[in-house]
Amino acid sequence: MQTLASSLLNSATDVPDRIAIYLQRAGKEDTPISYARLIAQGSVYAQALQTQGVKVGDIVVIILPHSEALVYAWVGAVLMGSVPSILPPLTEKLAPDRYRRDLAALTQITHPAAIITYDTFANEVYLALSENKTSDDTPPPIVVITAEQVSNLEFKIQNLKLEGTSQSDIALLQHSSGSTGLQKGVALSHEAIFNQLRSYAAAIQLSENDVIVSWLPLYHDMGLIAAFITPLMLRVPLVMLSPFDWVRAPQRLFQAIMQYNGTLCWLPNFAYNFCAQKIRDRDLQGVQLASMRAFINCSEPTVHSSHQKFAARFMPYGLRNGTLTTCYAMAENVFAVSQSPIGEPPTLDETPPDGREPRLSNGKPIANVKIKIVDSKGNEIGEGMIGEIALQSNCMLTGYFHRPDLTEKAMCDGWYLTGDMGYLKNGEVYITGRKKDIIIVGGKNVYPQDLELLASEVTGVHPGRVVAFGVIDERAGTEEIVVVAETDLAAEEAQQQVADEVRAHLTRNTDVAVRVVHLVPLGWLIKTSSGKVARTANKEKYSQEQT
């Protein structure tokens, strides 16, 4: 029987001195963390949880920044058999009031036994908990433990009792991003996780000779599963950067790849454009990327032009043809659903069924996953036809935690309805967008992601800080497209010129007319917990401002 805890303990016994993680932080020496150290420091957190009455199977929420404490808190929760759930810390990009409301809603649904955080954030946690309504069936109080308190504890092995869990038990909760993301915890069993790891490792030809390099946050499924749990459980070294350090200086990723001979790295699509635009030649002196087997584009619709820009920018630094690959993934399937072949460019569909620009394939389903495309009534439709993607696998979620209503709604005759739109062609899956995000203008389906990418190409628009949505035009009886974009420019005349250029660029490159382009200052747009622009929340904010 294999569980997260047993895998970690076996590694600490078999290869105690092997380095599991190289933790990088700006301005500090890299911190190598061995499997023996993982268990020793994680056990301190396990002891702290047990001392506070946390039991096997209890939910433990972890709200910590990029740090050793984050790693050890997660390991500690796993070792004692509780169920960890990592949430994003509050940053300047998240509205404090909304963050507290989301956290309060989560605790009312998941009933965590403990929240591990840091001293300066503990008051925010207490404020969120104070918003919870009390009743006769209110669960026991939630214990708040800070990393600073735990660091002062002395570990006593005789006081720690590691109780076993079974493969079918819930191993962790993932909370996906979105307006109700924190209320929708994806419960995953140990069995589902290891089924995913084995299948996906085969798809990417993973071996102990690999080195994974990542800046992805652990509260996102791509960061948690692909770039944290996978290397930890399969004994592959991980170089772990801070997401905030990467945003400030994206060249750190390539410098880390060079330093540690990195071979694998997962990136969301926007990061390809961001790196190509933001990294200067002087920041790449001495950098070589020849060690890389794959950059894997995942978590957003994958865009061919983004790959082209990335390749053109970094080919001079040793990036090899076939290194840029694609993946389709979601928390409800632990992670990967499909993967394009490693070492080969993804298939490019020159004639997609919606008549849009050539589209990148996300590869074929991995070994234990079945995919079909269904219409609005749940009936399977033919190859090359766009519909909702449904899947079956042996690594599916146990359910949405304490939300049987959402679980039942998402399932149809044993198939999980993803809410993603796409099609199959020659056995490969192509993603066209989210079902709920499609804008319908005069009976024509418009994908906001296309408009956002095009608007980001205009000089003066901050790359990746664009949102497009539809607003009902009562007079026309259809939706009108609105594009909201952040700009670095302050002068009103300059902003007007940029808005005109966005309109013209969209008109030239799409078959829709966009009249409303609304420029806003940096920091205006609301982001989800995983760093994506929150389309619904920004639509509401725009509507309120217009009113």
**Residue-wise pLDDT tens digits, 467-478:** 999 887 655 556
354-408 pLDDT, tens digit each:
887 899 999 999 999 999 999 989 999 999 999 999 999 999 999 999 999 999 9
Q: State the residue range of the domain holding 301.
A: 198-436
Residues 418 and 535 in one domain: no
Last residue of a domain, one of 436, 464, 497: 436
Mean of pLDDT values over 70-85 = 96
Q: According to the model, what pLDDT value does residue 156 have? A: 60
Residues 350 and 260 in one domain: yes
Share of the chain above pLDDT 90, in %: 69
Which residues pair with residue 220 across a beta bridge? none
What is d(CA 527, CA 530) in angstroms, rounded to the nearest whole number?
8
What is d(CA 22, CA 24) in angstroms, rounded to the nearest whole number?
6
248-290 pLDDT, tens digit each:
999 999 999 999 999 999 998 888 988 998 999 999 999 999 9
CA 532 to chain centre: 9
Residues 279 and 349 in one domain: yes
Residue 179 belongs to some domain of the structure: no
Residue 159 belongs to some domain of the structure: yes
Residues 235 and 337 in one domain: yes
Cβ contacts of 399-403, under 8 Å, gap ≥ 24: 399/187, 400/184, 400/185, 400/186, 400/187, 401/59, 401/109, 401/110, 401/170, 401/173, 401/185, 401/186, 401/187, 402/109, 402/110, 402/111, 402/185, 403/109, 403/183, 403/184, 403/185
What is d(CA 527, CA 517) in angstroms, rounded to the nearest whole number?
19
Residues 413 and 376 in one domain: yes
* Between 138 and 231, residue with greater pLDDT: 231
Q: Name the pTM for this structure.
A: 0.84
User: 3-state SS string over 335-370?
Assistant: CEEEECCCCCCCCEECCCCCCCCCEECCCEECCCEE
Residue 182 belongs to some domain of the structure: no
Say if residues 278 and 302 touch (Cβ distance below 8 Å). Answer: no
Residues 225 and 324 in one domain: yes
Residue 427 belongs to some domain of the structure: yes
Last residue of a domain, one of 165, 190, 210: 165
Q: Give the CATH number for residue 422.
A: 3.40.50.12780
Q: According to the model, what pLDDT value does residue 295 have? A: 98
Q: Give the CATH number for residue 472.
A: 3.30.300.30
Number of domains in the chain: 3
Residue 5 belongs to some domain of the structure: no
Residues 427 and 451 in one domain: no
181-214 pLDDT, tens digit each:
456 899 999 999 999 999 999 999 999 999 999 9
Mean of pLDDT values over 43-68 = 95
* Between 163 and 217, residue with greater pLDDT: 217
Q: Closest Cα to residue 395, out of 225, 156, 153, 160?
A: 225
Residues 422 and 320 in one domain: yes
* Between 523 and 201, residue with greater pLDDT: 201
Residue 187 belongs to some domain of the structure: no
Residue 19 belongs to some domain of the structure: no
Residues 47 and 138 in one domain: yes
Collapsed DSSP state (helix, strand, coil) of residue 244: helix
What is d(CA 488, CA 494) in angstroms, rounded to the nearest whole number?
10
Pure H helices in 263-402? 269-278, 304-314
Residue 178 belongs to some domain of the structure: no
Enter the tokens of residue 307. Answer: 């790959």
pLDDT at 177 over 60: no
Residues 427 and 462 in one domain: no
Q: Angle at which helices 35-51 and 4-14 pack, to 10 degrees?
A: 140
Last residue of a domain, one of 382, 413, 436: 436
Q: According to the model, what pLDDT value does residue 180 have? A: 42
Residues 388 and 266 in one domain: yes
Provide, for the chain, the percentages of residues in helix, strand and coil under a 3-state DSSP scheme, each rounded to the nearest 5: 35, 25, 40
Q: Give the CATH number for residue 87.
A: 3.40.50.980
Residues 355 and 428 in one domain: yes
